[in-house]
Amino acid sequence: MCKLNEIRAKQGFLCDMDGVVYHGTRLLDGAKDFVDWLERSGKRYLFLTNSSERSPAQLHQKLLEMGLDVDESHFYTSGQATARFLSSQSPGCSAYVIGGDGLRQALTEEGISLTESSPDYVVVGETPYYHYAMVKHALQLVVAGAKLIGTNPDLTGRDETGIIPTCQALIAPIALASGKKPYYVGKPNALMMRTGLRMLGVHSDEAAIIGDRMDTDIIAGIETGLDTVLSLSGVTAREDIAQFPYRPRYIINGLGELAE
């Protein structure tokens, strides 16, 4: 309980979404209580998601349909992080995109033109419309010289049906066939973490990260100097923790434990 109170005393919270706040279209127990507690306590918080498929406005609507009202300003996606990265590296660049509307919108807002012909980058994120023709075309573009970018390194995710393939699984055929190693922008990349802290306006010592993945959320927190909270509501089970050479500072079954 001592450690849990130390986490509650933090001023800023970076919280994962899929597997922590919801599964698919189902809000997880305790999520609403947690957000209510954050608001009542005057905490600064940001839902930092590796999913690039949806924009902040779409994430707001998704949660609203589940009964949870969170302002758009509290979301930061790997799609936005990827767009900022590309814009900083090569202003006015172009990209061929395999991904959802949220990723496309983020890239466009950063002044990146979307094209199917001779792009500077091939950018891959999550999309339910993934198909062979996309992979084939992306492969040809990468072989021709386009740089390969993944919005995040997540291999799998979870929805109401169970485990699903995510970004690293979707980009793998292009990387394997081209022999090119992708650069991943989302967690645990420090770029996304540092931007999240700047958006909150808090130092790493004053913040905690809550997530369900040891290989992205927890290692991202450790490497950025945040306290780490692993929620067992998603991908990682308690028995999986021993497989990693690092540990979260605290383990919870769900967000409701922090709101109590």
Which residues are annotated as catalytic?
A: 16, 18
Q: What is the 3-state secondary structure (H, E, C) of 20-75?
A: CCEECCEECCCHHHHHHHHHHHCCEEEEEECCCCCCHHHHHHHHHHCCCCCCHHHE
Q: Which of 129, 142, 121 is nearest to 53 (CA)?
A: 129
Which two three-digit tokens encode residue 27? 């809000």
Which two three-digit tokens encode residue 253? 């079954």
Which two three-digit tokens encode residue 91? 């202003």
**Whole-angstrom distance, CA of residue 219 vs CA of residue 225:** 10
Other beta carbons within 10 Å of 217: 30
* Helices vs strands, H then E, count in the chain: 10, 15
CA dihedral sign, ordered 232, 237, 239, 242? negative
